[in-house]
Every structure is written in structure tokens, then in C-alpha cells.
Amino acid sequence: KGFLQTLGRVTLVTIIAATGTFYYVTQKDRHPGTQLPFDPEKKTLVILGSGWAATSLLKGLDTTHYNTIVVSPKNFFLFTPLLPSVAVGTLNARSILQPTRYITRFKNRQVSVIEAEAKVVDPINKTVTFSDDSEIQGKVSSTTIPYDYLVYAVGAETQTFGIPGVKKHACFMKELHDAERMQRQFMDCVESAAFPGQSDQEIDRLLHMVVVGGGPTGVELSGELHDFLEDDLKSWYPELASRIRITLVEALPSVLPMFSKKLIDYTESTFKESKIDILTKTMVKEVKDKSVVLQMPDKSIAEVPCGMVVWAAGNTGRQVTRDLMAKLPEEQTNKRGITVDDHLMMKGSNGSIFAVGDCTASSYAPTAQVASQQGAYLARIFALVAKKDNLEAQLVKLEGTTEPEKQAEADRIRKQIDKIKLKPFHYSHQGSLAYIGSEKAVADLPIFGHEWASGGVATYLFWRSAYLSTLFSLRNRTLVASDWLRVKLFGRDVSRD
Ligand code: FAD
Ligand code: NAI
């Protein structure tokens, strides 16, 4: 009895302490203190974008040394790896967003966050022109500002290859509004199929979902759609659920080409069990209102009726990036994106523009892992650059002096400057992970120099814990964990707004 009483008290104290700590941390995160104002003596650092690379930079940046300005059409960071979960209602959209001000308001010196889209970057005069293209605008909605340093982190957009009908009829899976649009369209197809008097042929068309692109986005989305179908739609639309079909179309001979052969086979067999059809060596040639036109492996053309097409066929550079590159034609010749040196400096920009993430053309895959490591690297680089700039400013003041003491001081500063060495960027690959539905995931992990391939339910639990810990804030972690619990207890919502 005594043991149970002690255990009870320890448990109670632990719960109170944990709740208190949690409350303290969350409240601390809600009340930023005062910040240093902008200092005209400091250099201006403009960051374009609020995605993986920019946010990772902002987290690590010591803003004491710079007047920092962030310009992005989104005033938030989007945790893209969990976007397919939003598309089927496993997660609420807000759970994977982090407002940029939740980060910048905790910095030493104030950071200006501007919701606007960069339109023109002038690398010669070192200016950036941006405008507010949102629905509501004030009297001023476009301006040009100068920069000393520019971090170019605007990401990429979805590649359509100019294929007819893609932009008009397909849903994308890149931005938050893409996932929300897909969710609405998917439920619209299901509700329209349930409309009285619908012919069998029309029901089959409406309930046929085509996902284009067998990269990780297309595979994860197909897996999430399958879960929605199995876990929820079977209960609420019993007469229709068995007729819903998911087809994944991939131009290459296999899905997930970046994963090991074993995991490709595992994914393909899991999809087979889940009744997700995979069409490999098949290329989408056109997307129509009610169908997709496919070029089959034997080069024949087939028109397949469908209710919804989700386009996940990879990335391409943004127009603003192409325009910027065109201003440095000699150095910027790579069609895939911006060419940078070992320190992520844009070639031809005379050390004033750093480019990171999906907008660059490098030997790395366009992933969040690469972008966030590049952002963190730049935060370290900017600390060194500030130190160097500061020493150089001191040196300028001493230039031309004939006093021996001051000359000695200048020599000492020169030596300090020489010691500042900017190490080149080095990417450390932490492995590849993808969710494939049915509570299974695949992972290629580098362990002690060896690639370790794993797939199944245990890998799925690892996938969940890896992403939960990678989320940027305690707030996001709490929201995502509670969404997972909500879905476990009550299922996904099938209402359509
Ligand atoms: P982004 O994160 O796309 O950020 C670009 C930012 O620039 C955005 O804030 C945007 O609003 C802003 N912007 C756009 N235009 C302008 C402009 N003109 N001016 C100013 N700002 C602008 N990678 C992984 O490693 N693991 C994963 O599990 C994973 N899952 C993914 C799932 C999905 C559905 C998607 C779409 C991608 C996934 N990725 C994943 C890839 C990863 O999201 C990208 O590689 C990563 O977002 C690149 O970071 P970035 O900062 O370069 O670009
Ligand atoms: P992707 O470029 O990896 O895959 C797109 C696929 O679409 C390609 O395999 C291509 O062959 C196919 N395709 C292109 N045009 C086609 C057509 N007309 N018809 C049929 N198939 C066509 O793009 P994805 O999946 O959006 O990924 C983009 C980047 O984000 C990649 O670097 C990826 O590694 C990363 N990512 C990583 C994730 C993870 O690690 N879990 C999840 C999602 C994305």
C-alpha cells in the first residue's frame, strides 16, 4: 500500500512538473521581448523566401550584425513533408505552418517581414523590387529597396513541361492551397458520384483518381489517398468506396528512382496489395476536363476517364529566377537553376548574392534536407562575414596613417582578417524517407558508412517520430501529434467546405 501511495505521489508530482514546464515553455514562446532597432551603420541583408532554406537561415542567424529584411509572398513557413497528409485531412493545414514572425520576433535585432513577391533582382545596382499581390492592398503595393547582401531562397515551382491541360485541369501538390484544393476536389468527386441517377460509367469516372509522377510526392500522396479510402470512406460511403480507384502514372521504369531497388520493389508490392495501380513507362501527354491522355509503354495512346488528376511531376525554376540569371549570362548558363560556388555564392554576383535550396542547380537533390543545411550554413557564414566586415571597416579608418602605433594596429587587424576562413558548404545526407500508405514507410539510411534499407510498420513509426522531431516548433509538434490522435479516435473529416 505504501509503495502504491509513493508511486501515486511521484506520478502526480511528475504530471504537475511536466504540465508546468510545458505551460512555461509555451508562454515564453508567445511573449517576445524588446528588440534592437535597425542601425544605419549595419549592412542590409535581404532574404527572399520563407521556405526551408530561408527559415533555417533565420533560425541560426545572429541579427545583431545586420538590418535584416525578409520578403516572401507567404508570411509563414510550410512543412512540406506533411503536405500530402493535409490533402486527405489527416492533419489540419495550420498544424504544419509556422508564421515567420514567430521566429523573427525572438531575434536580437528587429527583422522586417514583408509579405510580397520579389519581381526583379538587379545584381548590378544591388536592388530588389517587390510587390504585394494579395487580395487587399494599401496605397503603396510595390517598392524597390537596396541590399548589401541578398539571400535568394525562392524555391521552385511545379514542372508542367508545357503539357496541354495540366495548369487548367490538374491539382498540384506544392503549396498549402494545392492540398486544400485537392481535398475539396476529391470530396466533390465522391459526392457527385453519390448523386442519384448517376450512371455506372460516370460513377467509375468520378471515382478514378490519377496521380502523375512516381517521385516521393506522388507516392506519398497515393498512399495517403489509400488510407483515407480504407479508414474512413469505407464507413461513410459504403456503396461507393469499393469503386474508388487510384492510378499512379510514372514515365520512368519504376517509382521512387532515388531509393534502393529493394525498397522500390517493396513499395510496388505494397501498392499492389493496396490496389493502387502503378503504370510505369507511361507518360501523360494531355490532361482534359474528364480524362487523361496517356502514352503507353508500347507508344500507343490511351484516353483514360477520371475524376481528378494530381500533378506531381517535379520542379522547375521560377520566372524571377530565370530573369535574374539572364542578367549574368556568362556565369549563369545552367538551365536547371542558379549556379553557386562552394560557399553558395551566386556566380557573377561579386559576393553579394547567396542562393540556396531548390532555386539552385547543384549536385544535390532538391530536398528540404539540403535546403535546411544550406540555410544553417549561411547563418554561420554571415556571422563570419560580419566579423570580417567589421574588421575591414576598422582598417579603412586606419588607412594612410603614419603613426607607428596605428600601423601596428592595422597589421594586427590584417592578420585577424586573414585568419577568417570561410569553409565550403558540405552536405551531410541523413537518409531518404517516404510514407507509402497502410501504415508503412520506406527508408534508406546511411549507417556507419553503409546504406541500410528498411520498409514496413516499424519504419513508419520511425518516419512519424523523425518528422515530429524535425518540425520547427513545440507548437507544431503539439498540433501534429494531437491531429494524429484525433484521426485515430474520430477518423478524418469527410465534409467539404
Ligand atoms: P521552399 O521551401 O519552396 O521555399 C521557397 C519560399 O520562397 C517560399 O516561402 C515561397 O513563398 C517563397 N517565394 C516564392 N516566390 C517568391 C518570390 N518571387 N519572392 C520572394 N519569395 C518567394 N524534401 C525532403 O527532404 N524530405 C521530404 O520529406 C520532402 N517532402 C516533400 C513533400 C512535398 C509535397 C513537396 C512539395 C516537397 C517535399 N520535399 C521534401 C522537398 C522540399 O520541400 C523542398 O526541397 C524544399 O521546400 C526546398 O526549400 P527552399 O527553401 O528552396 O524552397
Ligand atoms: P520528382 O522529380 O522526384 O518526381 C517526378 C516524377 O514525375 C519523375 O519520376 C518523372 O519521371 C515523372 N514524370 C514527369 N513527367 C511525367 C509525365 N508527363 N508523365 C508521367 N510521369 C512524369 O518530383 P517530386 O516527387 O515532386 O519530388 C521533388 C523533390 O522533392 C525531389 O528531390 C524529392 O526527393 C523531394 N521530395 C522528397 C520527399 C521525401 O524524401 N519523402 C517527399 C517529396 C518530395
Give residue-wise pLDDT tens across range 371-388: 999 999 999 999 999 999
Q: Which CATH number fits domain 166-316+429-490: 3.60.150.10, 3.40.462.10, 3.90.79.10, 3.50.50.100?
A: 3.50.50.100
* Helix ranges, 31-125 (H): 52-60, 83-87, 101-104
The finding on whether 371 has its CB within 6 A of some atom of ligand 1 is: yes
pLDDT grade for 451, boundaries at 50, 70 and 90: confident
Q: What is the mean pLDDT of residues 83-106?
A: 97
**Is the Cβ–Cβ distance between 146 and 127 less than 8 Å?**
yes
Q: Output the residue whose Cα is nearest ligand 1's atom 42.
A: 368
Separation of CA 217 and ligand 1 centre (Å): 13
Tell me the per-residue pLDDT of 269-318, one tens digit each, with 9 for 90 and over: 999 999 999 999 999 999 999 999 999 999 999 999 999 999 999 999 99
**1: pLDDT strictly greater than 80:** no
HSE toward the beta carbon, residue 447, CA cutoff 13 A: 6
User: What pLDDT, on a 0 to 100 scale, did the predictor assign at position 127?
Assistant: 98
**24: pLDDT strictly greater than 90:** no
The finding on whether 315 has its CB within 6 A of some atom of ligand 2 is: yes
Q: What is the mean pLDDT of residues 81-98?
A: 97
Tell me the per-residue pLDDT of 221-251, one tens digit each, with 9 for 90 and over: 999 999 999 999 999 999 999 999 999 999 9
Cβ-based neighbour number of residue 268 at 10 Å: 19
| Residue 290 phi, psi (nearest 5) | -125, 15
Written as nine digits, the cell of 145 is 529597396
pLDDT mean across residues, the chain: 95
User: What pLDDT, on a 0 to 100 scale, did the predictor assign at position 448?
Assistant: 80
User: What pLDDT, on a 0 to 100 scale, did the predictor assign at position 23?
Assistant: 85
Instruction: Give Rg (Cα) of the chain.
Output: 26
Ligand nearest the Cα atom of residue 219:
2
Tell me the per-residue pLDDT of 75-86, one tens digit each, with 9 for 90 and over: 999 999 999 999
Q: What is the mean pLDDT of residues 405-419?
A: 92
CA pair distance 178, 172, nearest whole angstrom: 5
The finding on whether 389 has its CB within 6 A of some atom of ligand 2 is: no
User: What pLDDT, on a 0 to 100 scale, did the predictor assign at position 39?
Assistant: 95
Cβ-based neighbour number of residue 252 at 10 Å: 14
Separation of CA 493 and ligand 2 centre (Å): 28
Q: What is the mean pLDDT of residues 153-157?
A: 98
- What pTM was estimated for this model as a whole? 0.95
Q: Which CATH architecture has domain 36-154+317-389?
A: 3-Layer(bba) Sandwich (3.50)
The finding on whether 312 has its CB within 6 A of some atom of ligand 1 is: no
